[in-house]
Amino acid sequence: MIHGFIPPERFFAYLTWQEIEKMPNKENVVIIQPIGAIEQHGHHLPLVVDSAISQGVLGRALEGLAPEIPAYALPTLYYGKSNEHLDFPGTISLSAETLLRVLRETAESIYRAGFRKLVLMNSHGGQPHILDIISRDLHQEHNDFLVFPFFTWRVPHITKDLMSEKEGKEGIHAGDAETSLMLSLLPHQVKMELAVKEYAKDLAGDSLLSLEGRLPFPWVTKELSTSGVIGDATVATREKGDRILASLTNGWIRLIEDIYKYSTSVE
């Protein structure tokens, strides 16, 4: 079905325009835009990983959310800014300008309909800065519009407790965490017999430089990996994926509750 992992009663696109027009307390209704990417994830994972994670985690969170909290998921935005992966066939990438425009016009439509809380739920590590920019701009232009640019993996979760120390620090793409989570969400799309272990080349363990985190620098994937994997996918399991999914789900339930309760005075 079109709603995928999202509970149908929480899927924004299944509402009619009259239901939206008559919806009570729209300024506190939480609208959530799941955002991912269509990009390479090694030989063993499909292109849809980031989009599946956004929609899968959000779907579980909305299932567990108290029914009296009004929250709806927009259709998943499958395309993102993925130009670091363009050397691998199948990757589809929007420019930063295009993604900014899509997010702006989507948000303006939500605002025009009377909603005042929008969450941009992103699972692709190559575009959080874009979401930060558009969220700040929208709030500055409409000071009663709260736009929350959140990375799916930033809520409290147990993932690093299940990983090796090296994987926790260096496994940033298609490694143990993403592969385990996909074994939980879309097991039939994971080809574990093709999984590999490959970490980024030429980055000493004591270097202050990082691919992500405190001191990141621009890179493209082909410079770091021949397979497209940056991490150890060979140790992934469904059991770990189930535990990761449950912890991310709990984190997102709490976050949606906090957004619903949050208010700010407008001068």
pLDDT in tens, 148-176: 999 999 999 999 999 999 999 899 999 99
pLDDT at residue 37 in the model:
98
pLDDT at residue 250 in the model:
98
- The DSSP symbol for 197 reads E
User: What would the mean pLDDT of 52-72 be, rounded to a whole number?
Assistant: 98
- Output the average pLDDT for the chain: 95
pLDDT at residue 229 in the model:
98
pLDDT at residue 227 in the model:
97
User: What would the mean pLDDT of 120-141 be, rounded to a whole number?
Assistant: 97
Per-residue tokens: 111 = 């605002």
pLDDT at 205 over 80: no
Residue found by looking up tokens 């692709």 in the block: 124
pLDDT at residue 42 in the model:
98
Residue found by looking up tokens 């405190």 in the block: 214
pLDDT confidence of 204, banded at 50, 70, 90? low
Q: What percent of the chain has pLDDT over 90?
A: 90
Q: What is the pLDDT of residues 206-262, one digit of tens each?
A: 778 878 877 888 899 999 999 999 999 999 999 999 999 999 999 999 999 999 999
Q: Which range, of 130-134, 182-186, 204-208, 249-253, averages the lowest pLDDT?
A: 204-208
pLDDT at 4 over 80: yes
User: What would the mean pLDDT of 139-156 be, rounded to a whole number?
Assistant: 97
Asked whether 236 and 180 are in contact (CB, 8 A), the reply is yes
The reply to whether CATH 3.40.50.10310 applies to domain 10-261 is yes
pLDDT at 130 over 70: yes
pLDDT at 265 over 90: no
pLDDT at residue 267 in the model:
47
Instruction: Return the SS3 of 31.
Output: strand
User: Where do the H-state alpha helices sit in the chain?
Assistant: 17-22, 49-64, 96-112, 128-141, 159-162, 165-170, 176-185, 238-261
Domain boundaries, given as residue ranges, for the chain: 10-261
pLDDT at residue 264 in the model:
72
Strands 71-73 and 146-151 come out as unpaired
Share of the chain residues as helix, strand and coil, in percent rounded to the nearest 5: 45, 15, 40
